[in-house]
């Protein structure tokens, strides 16, 4: 398949797109579509995180697990929802921590596109999901693809801050060269775990402190 993705990423990942596992992802998605299955996010938004945050612009990486599986929620940026869709519980908790950490007012929108445009790479480890079936595409090959994306960032850039929330994200630490990059770990912002170490982590101010130390402009964490 001709992958529609930002030109810089397309060049960096061109070898991945020709590998057998990626061809299998493509075949799987085509089969699901032919069977009438609804897949989120819509096709043009599967690589939205890459399109909104070119490789050269990455300052920080936030890693999610799986796209939202309800109608109209997923748009290819982890934890984010389009304008007009109520912020899901994990994002509500992210906003609470932002308020506590840097005093940011709780936004009315759950759309994190502005973060992506300012260098926050909002990557889900799995890039598609079947409607109303969480983790339904978690074993079709996406993990191999996104693990390789993380490795490319680790080897090709310096001074990136990786925000790893929850055990699933913590397992990705092994892919990151910590002599070149910074890793911040906390509990997941889900209501089930946010009070076990996400609240109070201060990852947003810590990220900006680490970037400033490296001579990189800090991130504006507002969403408008």
Residues 188 and 165: beta-carbon distance below 8 Å: yes
Quick one: CA dihedral 104, 204, 158, 215, positive or negative? Answer: positive
Dihedral through CA 24, CA 27, CA 31, CA 37, nearest 10?
70
Annotate 41-70 with three-state secondary structure: CCHHHCCHHHHHCCHHHCCEEEEECCCCCC
The verdict on whether 2 is a catalytic residue reads no
| Tokens describing residue 84 | 């007009």
Can you say whether the dihedral through the CA atoms of 169, 171, 175, 177 is positive or negative?
positive
Find the catalytic residue in 20, 51, 56, 66. 66
Question: Can you count the helices (H) and strands (E) in the chain?
Answer: 9, 6
Neighbours of 212 (CB within 10 A): 11
Annotated catalytic residues are 66
């Amino acid at each position: 398949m001709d992958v529609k993705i930002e030109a810089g990423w397309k060049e960096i990942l061109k070898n991945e797109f020709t590998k057998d596992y990626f061809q299998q992802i493509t075949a799987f998605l085509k089969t699901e579509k032919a069977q009438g299955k609804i897949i989120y996010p819509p096709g043009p938004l599967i690589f939205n995180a890459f399109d909104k945050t070119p490789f050269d612009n990455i300052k920080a990486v936030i890693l999610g697990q799986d796209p939202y599986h309800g109608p109209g929620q997923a748009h290819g940026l982890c934890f984010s929802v389009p304008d007009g869709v109520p912020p899901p519980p994990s994002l509500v908790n992210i906003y609470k921590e932002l308020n506590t950490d840097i005093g940011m007012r709780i936004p009315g929108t759950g759309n994190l596109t502005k973060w992506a445009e300012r260098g926050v790479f909002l990557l889900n480890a799995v890039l598609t999901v079947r409607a109303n079936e969480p983790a339904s595409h978690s074993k079709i090959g996406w993990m191999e693809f996104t693990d390789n994306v993380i490795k490319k960032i680790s080897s090709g850039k310096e001074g990136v801050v990786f925000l790893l929330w929850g055990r699933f994200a913590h397992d990705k630490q092994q892919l990151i060269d910590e002599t070149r990059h910074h890793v911040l770990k906390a509990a997941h912002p889900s209501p089930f775990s946010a009070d076990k170490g996400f609240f109070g982590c201060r990852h947003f101010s810590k990220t900006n402190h680490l970037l400033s130390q490296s001579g990189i402009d800090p991130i504006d964490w507002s969403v408008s």
